[in-house]
Amino acid sequence: MKSARNTTAKTEIQELIASSSVALSHSEIQKSLEGLCDRVTIYRVLERLLEEGFIHKIVNVDGVVKYAGCHSCSAKHSHNHIHFSCQKCKSVTCLDDVEPSFKLPKNYKVSEMNFTLSGLCPQCS
Amino acid sequence: MKSARNTTAKTEIQELIASSSVALSHSEIQKSLEGLCDRVTIYRVLERLLEEGFIHKIVNVDGVVKYAGCHSCSAKHSHNHIHFSCQKCKSVTCLDDVEPSFKLPKNYKVSEMNFTLSGLCPQCS
DNA sequence: TATTTAATGCAACAATGTTGCAAAAGTAAT
DNA sequence: ATTACTTTTGCAACATTGTTGCATTAAATA
């Protein structure tokens, strides 16, 4: 049986994401950690945090992958909320309360969703 | 004044995308063209087709960028429809008729949207 | 403290996308 | 058809992002 271990890198990254109001990219995390660990380690830690359900992954409209903590989905772990990407301050935030509705044609089976809007956030508009 | 020119590469790529029922990635286009032109040229042609409004860009849930022709938006050119990404056959299609609705908090100004669902398409489910 | 094995660092690699510049090829005028 | 002008292309080189193998390091348990 393989059991997870608490390492410095994992703890730091987890805290960084948890305390951030915006979603963070791999490179942003790397800058924040200031050489605490290797680039590869960050990828592997993020992978583990995803598996363990502490964070979720967001693909921005420009293709950049960002990571955000799981707030609203502690129990059920569903991510059908909208993300907002600000074109001015470049921040990506989870709008946890905004869940879009739509009517899908028959025979489509949905297992994952990625909704991202871009424009100006309240701070920038 | 700079005016666009009709080149072999542009014509081929435009036709390829227009005649495809699914969105195509850069690498898929490259394979189809079989060395007709350079990798870089494809990037630049796609850039021009985007500017000219013949195609639109879709960022898939896995971060892969795909391009699809503009069908429904010939006049108004809006892309608020949903995209569906099949996990089995890997196809990405535009569900032109499916437009999601949602209530955004005040002071957000939306200029672009990217909605992608993934799961199983009718052919694969 | 010793043992076990998860986690890390390093090097090397692959995929994707960008940029500068000289050469090639459209387009329009002669 | 030829010329002149400028867009477009190909090539090389580079940047970024993400992955993999393997030896080493360091948690967690006994």
pLDDT at A74: 61
Q: Considering only residues 50-109 of chain A, list those whose CB is below 7 Å from strand D.
A: 64-65
Asked if B3 CB < 7 A from strand C, the reply is yes
Query: What's the pLDDT at B112?
Result: 87
Check pLDDT > 70 for residue A75.
no
pLDDT at residue A36, as a whole number: 97
Whether residue A76 has pLDDT greater than 70: no
Q: Any idea which nucleotide's C1' is nearest the CA of A4? A: C6
Q: Supply the pLDDT for residue B74.
A: 61
Contact B114 A116 (CB under 8 A): yes
**pLDDT surpasses 70 at A77:** no
Q: Give B105's DSSP letter.
A: P
Distance from CA of B82 to the nearest CA of A (A): 9
Residue A21, helix vs strand vs coil:
coil
Q: Which two tokens stand for residue A6?
A: 């608490």
Among partner residues A62, A107, A114, which is closest to B116 by beta-carbon distance? A114
Selected residue with higher pLDDT from B2 and B66: B66
pLDDT tens track for B59-81: 998 889 999 998 876 666 677 89
Measure the CA–CA gap between A41 and A67, rounded to whole angstroms: 15
Which pLDDT belongs to residue A26?
98
- What rounded mean pLDDT belongs to chain B? 92
* Number of other CB atoms surrounding residue A24 within 10 Å: 23
Q: What's the first-to-final CA gap in chain A, in angstroms?
A: 52
* pLDDT for position A78: 74
Strand C nucleotides within 7 Å of a protein CB:
5-12, 15-20, 25-28
Residue of B89, B91, B108 best to disrupt the A interface, most CBs of A under 10 A: B108
Q: Which domains does chain B have, with CATH numbers?
A: 8-119 (1.10.10.10)
Residue B2's pLDDT band (cuts 50, 70, 90): confident
**Interchain proximity A109–B102, CB inside 8 Å:** no
Rg (alpha carbons) of chain A, rounded to whole number: 16
For residue A79, the model assigns a pLDDT of 79
Cβ neighbours of residue B52 under 8 Å, at least 6 residues apart? B4
Q: Tokens 């609705």 belong to which residue?
A: B101
Burial of A87 (0-12, 13-18, 19+ CB in 10 A): middle
Verify whether the Cβ–Cβ distance A104 to B82 is below 8 Å: yes
- Among A60, A108, A122, the residue with its CB nearest the CB of B119 is A108
What was the pLDDT predicted at B76? Answer: 63
Nearest residue on chain B to A81, alpha-carbon basis: B102
Confidence check: pLDDT of A88 > 70: yes
Is pLDDT above 80 for A73?
Answer: no
Single-letter amino acid, residue B111: S
Across B98-114, average pLDDT = 92
Average pLDDT rounded to a whole number, residues B76-105: 90
pLDDT at B84: 96
d(CA B83, CA B43): 22
B8 touches strand C (CB under 7 A): yes
From edge to edge, which strands make up the β-sheet containing A109-120?
Answer: A92-95, A82-86, A109-120, B109-120, B82-86, B92-95
**Is the CB atom of residue B35 positioned under 7 angstroms from any atom of strand D?**
no
Looking at residues B109-115, what average pLDDT do you find?
A: 91
Give me the residue label for tokens 């990217």. B114
**What is the per-residue pLDDT for B75?**
61
Query: Count of CB contacts below 8 A, A vs B?
Result: 117
pLDDT 10s digits, A20-66: 999 999 999 999 999 999 999 999 999 999 999 999 999 998 899 99
